[in-house]
Structure 1
Amino acid sequence: MAIAPFQVTLGIELVAAGLGGLQGALIAAGERHRRIDVLGVIVIGLTVSLGGSLLRDVVLNQPPVVIWANWYLLVAAASAILGMILQPLFARADWAITGLDAVVMGLFGAIGASKALSLGVGPVGALVVGVIGAIGGGMLRDLILARPVSILQVGTLYAVAAGAGAGSLIVLVGFDVPVLIAGLVAVVVTTAVRILAVVFGWAFPEQRSLISGH
């Protein structure tokens, strides 16, 4: 199911990087009790922006685009600074940050899955790469901030949303749907699943309730 050559342009990667940097900085700037300085906010923004792409390329044994593309770091850093400036406007708008987080996941998941397919990776492997790309930046963000890792918490469905989006792209590409259209559908699916999970409280059962039988 290879799609060659890799059809996601650098422009789309930069959009994802910019939104990732913005979202990461908004979260970091909101952690006022931690007294994170300006550099720290930028670092968190860069982590969200670059983490998923870096992990994806390492898994695929490819030169990391975040290093080789000149504009990647600049766009991510500028977006992080913008996020820090705009944070007061978003302070009471958790829904906006959740929505932005979902879109960023969808973009990186679609890019990761499509890049894997273009390199000849099978559907299952491409799904894994898509999920890694989608959640990698968020996982690194949580680790740096010493927060509970989102993917491991009850009620998030992060991996499910990421997998649903990447999986939809893989299926559509298998039916010869153009990758850009499949990618757009993947972003919509990831965003929808993530937001619906938050709105309706969808979650897997907590492990201790399964063990205890309650």
Structure 2
Amino acid sequence: MSITPFQVTLWIELLAAALGGLQGALFAAGRRHRRIDVLGVIVIGLAVSLGGSLLRDIMLNQPPVVVWNNSYLLVAGASAILGMLLHPAFARAAWLITTLDAVVMGLFAAIGASKALSLGVGEAGALVVGVIGAIGGGMLRDVILNLPISFLQVGTLYAVAAGAGAGTFVLLAELGTPTLIAGLACLGVTTAVRLAAVHFGWTFPEQRALQSRRPN
């Protein structure tokens, strides 16, 4: 199925890049015990902002848009600097970083799934691309900071939220829903699942807990 690519509207992907850079910088600036310098904060902001798009385009065998279009690097860098400057004002607003993270995931999930479908990728593949686009920036952030990869650890349904949003987009696109509406639905579902999981502490059971339940 071929649909109008969600990312043709440049400002939408630049908005995702800006929010990603802001969220990444706020996250990094809050890790004071790691003594991250100014350059480090900016690098983390860039990783969160551009990582998902980079991995998405590599998976789709497309020229990485974040490399070929100067706008992405400029917007991501500026928003990362802004996030670093704003951190003192939001130092205790952990909910803001979590909310930004959820919104960024939803935007990149919609962009990734849309681009995959527009290139003729099947529904299952588009779902995978959407999830990778959504969590790719967070993965690179965790690798750079030497943290446990978020979606591989017992946590608050990080990848599940991205999958729910990307799946919603793919389903609505297959039903002929306008791309913008499908994208907004993806954003809403991803954000809602992620924030609800954080608020209510929803997690998958740890594999060791399952093993301990096996009869001897």
TM norm structure 1: 0.97
Q: Distance in 1 between matches of 2:161 and 2:20?
A: 17
Please list, as runs of the form range in 1=range in 2, the aligned pairs for 1:43-54 lying within 5 A after superposition.
43-54=43-54
Q: Distance in 1 between matches of 2:68 and 2:11?
A: 14
Q: Distance in 2 between matches of 1:160 and 1:91?
A: 28
Once the two structures are TM-superposed, the CA of residue 107 in structure 1 deviates from its matched residue by: 0.4
Once the two structures are TM-superposed, the CA of residue 148 in structure 1 deviates from its matched residue by: 1.3
Once the two structures are TM-superposed, the CA of residue 7 in structure 1 deviates from its matched residue by: 3.6
User: Which position in structure 2 is the counterpart of 1:70?
Assistant: 70
User: Which position in structure 2 is the counterpart of 1:10?
Assistant: 10
Q: Distance in 1 between matches of 2:183 and 2:114?
A: 8
Please list, as runs of the form range in 1=range in 2, the aligned pairs for 1:56-135 lying within 5 A after superposition.
56-135=56-135
Q: Distance in 2 between matches of 1:179 and 1:64?
A: 22
User: Which position in structure 1 is the counterpart of 2:25?
Assistant: 25
Query: What do the CA deviations read for 1:65-97 (whole angstroms, capped 9, x no partner)?
Result: 101112110000000000000111121111111
Q: Could you say what the CA RMSD is over the residues aligned between the two structures, in angstroms?
A: 0.9
**Which structure 2 segments of 5+ residues have no match?**
none
User: Which residue identity lines up with residue 28 of structure 1 in the other structure?
Assistant: A
Once the two structures are TM-superposed, the CA of residue 2 in structure 1 deviates from its matched residue by: 2.1
Q: Distance in 2 between matches of 1:46 and 1:33?
A: 21
Q: Distance in 2 between matches of 1:151 and 1:2?
A: 30
Please list, as runs of the form range in 1=range in 2, the aligned pairs for 1:189-204 lying within 5 A after superposition.
189-204=189-204
User: Which position in structure 2 is the counterpart of 1:36?
Assistant: 36
Q: Distance in 2 between matches of 1:111 and 1:89?
A: 31
Runs of 4+ in 1 over 4 A off after TM superposition: none
User: Which position in structure 1 is the counterpart of 2:152?
Assistant: 152
Q: Distance in 2 between matches of 1:16 and 1:132?
A: 15
User: Which position in structure 2 is the counterpart of 1:166?
Assistant: 166
**Which structure 1 segments of 5+ residues have no match?**
none
TM norm structure 2: 0.97
Once the two structures are TM-superposed, the CA of residue 152 in structure 1 deviates from its matched residue by: 1.2
Q: Distance in 2 between matches of 1:63 and 1:148?
A: 30
